[in-house]
Amino acid sequence: MTEHFPAPELSYEDLTIGRRLRTGTIEVRREEMLAFASRYDPQPFHLEETAGQGSVFGGMSASGWFTAALTMRLMILGEFKFRGGAVGLGVEAIRWPRPVHVGDRLTAETEVAAMRVSESRPAFGIVKFVTTTTNQRGEVVMTKTANVLIPRRAAPPRSE
Amino acid sequence: MTEHFPAPELSYEDLTIGRRLRTGTIEVRREEMLAFASRYDPQPFHLEETAGQGSVFGGMSASGWFTAALTMRLMILGEFKFRGGAVGLGVEAIRWPRPVHVGDRLTAETEVAAMRVSESRPAFGIVKFVTTTTNQRGEVVMTKTANVLIPRRAAPPRSE
C-alpha cells in the first residue's frame, strides 16, 4: 500500500469528459487523525472513543475536513497532477455518507464531469471534477464535486 | 486578538432562522500554513513565494482546505458550540473568492439559513448554515453552505 501513484503532469488538453484520475492508498493513522481533530475540529466524537460510541458515528470518527484533506493529498500524489498546478474555484457539493475510522485505508478516483475554456482567463480551462473516496471495503466515505482552474498548454506559435 | 470566543453550548431549540453565530480571530501563521500544504495540498503556489507570485494568486497562498479547517476551528471555539456536538452531513457550496496569505487575520460568522427536525433521527434537527470567513480588511475569503445534524433537547416528560 502506498499513497504515491506516479503519474505525468497533465494539461487541460489531456482531459476528456469521463476520464478518470486514480490515486494510491493512504491509511488513517490515529496520531494524525487526533492531531487534525484537536487543532481543527475539536469535538468529542472526533477525539474520544467513548464519545464516538455514543454518537451517530458509532465510534470515534474522523472530521470530514480530515477526510477531505487526505483525499486532496491522495489526488496530488496521484494522477491529479497538473503542469502549473490546479486551483480550486469552489465546491458544488461534498457528502460524507459513512464515517472514517482509525485504520481505514482510503483511495480516491476523480472523474472529469464537464470542461470549458475560461472566458476571463483564456490560459486556463475550468473543469468540473467529481471525486469519490472509498475505504478498504469499497464503501464510499466522501463524494465531492469541485470546479478547478486547470492550465492550458501554451498556444502554438502562429505560422506567419 | 484571540481565537477563543467563550459561548454557551446550544441545542436545536436555541436556533432561529437568521441567527448569527460569531467567532474570535485567528492569525494565519507561516509554519502552520506550510505544514498543512506540505502534507495535504503540496502544490508549489501553496509552498513557495516565487511559485505563488507566478500564479493566479499573486503570492504564496493558503490551500482552500486550510482556510476551511481554520474556519471550523474558529467556529468550534466560538458560538458554534452544540451540546453533544455538530455532525456535518454535507456541504452545498464552498467558494474561495480571494486568496489567504501569511499574516492574514481571519474571523467568521455563521447564519442559520433553514432548519427542520430530522424525520429519520427525531432526536436531531437538520440545520442549513451559511458561513462567511473574512480577513482583516473585511474581504470575504470563503463562503460555505453546509447541512448539519444538531441535537435537540431531550423531549419533556409527558404529564400523565
Calculate how close chain B gets to A62, using CA atoms only, in Å. 11
Residue of B nearest to A44 (CA): B85
Q: State pTM to two decimals.
A: 0.94
pLDDT computed for residue B38 by the predictor: 97
| Ranges in chain A, pLDDT < 70 | 155-160
Is pLDDT at B22 greater than 70 in this prediction?
Answer: yes
| Number of inter-chain CB pairs under 8 A, A vs B | 97
Calculate how close chain A gets to B3, using CA atoms only, in Å. 12
Residue of A nearest to B74 (CA): A40
**Residue A52 near residue A45 (C-beta atoms within 8 A):** yes
Residue of B nearest to A67 (CA): B40
Contacts of B90 in chain A (CB under 8 A): 93-96
Calculate how close chain B gets to A96, using CA atoms only, in Å. 6
pLDDT band at residue B160 under the 50/70/90 scheme: very low
Calculate how close chain A gets to B25, using CA atoms only, in Å. 14
pLDDT computed for residue A154 by the predictor: 72
Phi/psi of residue B22, nearest 5 degrees: -95, 170
Distance CA B57, CA B64 (A): 12
Q: Do B73 and A44 touch (CB under 8 A)?
A: no
Flag whether residue B4 sits within 8 Å of chain A, measured between CB atoms: no
Distance CA A137, CA A101 (A): 13
Select from A140, A58, A64, A87 the least CA-distant residue to B54.
A87
What is the DSSP secondary-structure string of B75-134?
Answer: HHHTT--BTT--EEEEEEEEE--S---TT-EEEEEEEEEEEEE-SS-TTEEEEEEEEEEE
Residues contacting residue A35 through CB under 8 Å, at least 6 positions apart: none
Q: Do A64 and B88 touch (CB under 8 A)?
A: yes
Flag whether residue B40 sits within 8 Å of chain A, measured between CB atoms: yes
Give the pLDDT confidence of B27-71 residue by residue, as tens digits. 999 999 999 999 999 999 999 999 888 888 889 999 999 999 999
Q: Do A65 and B64 touch (CB under 8 A)?
A: no
Residue B145 C-alpha cell reads as 453552505
pLDDT band at residue B124 under the 50/70/90 scheme: very high
- Max CA pair span of chain A: 73
Edge to edge, what strands does the sheet with B140-151 contain? A20-27, A105-117, A124-134, A140-151, A87-95, B87-95, B140-151, B124-134, B105-117, B20-27
- Mutation for testing the B interface, residue in A41, A80, A81, A92 having most B CBs under 10 Å: A41
Residue of A nearest to B32 (CA): A39
ipTM: 0.93
What is the DSSP secondary-structure string of chain A?
Answer: --S------B-GGG--TT-EEEEEEEE--HHHHHHHHHHH---HHHH-HHHHHTSTTSS----HHHHHHHHHHHHHHTT--BTT--EEEEEEEEE--S---TT-EEEEEEEEEEEEE-SS-TTEEEEEEEEEEE-TTS-EEEEEEEEEEEEPPPPPPP--
Q: Give me the domains of chain A, ranges plus CATH numbers.
A: 12-151 (3.10.129.10)
Distance CA A92, CA A127 (A): 12
For range B77-105, the mean pLDDT: 96
pLDDT computed for residue B54 by the predictor: 86
Calculate how close chain A gets to B18, using CA atoms only, in Å. 23
Q: Do B70 and A96 touch (CB under 8 A)?
A: no
pLDDT computed for residue B133 by the predictor: 98
Flag whether residue A45 sits within 8 Å of chain B, measured between CB atoms: yes
Where is B12: in which H helix or E strand? none
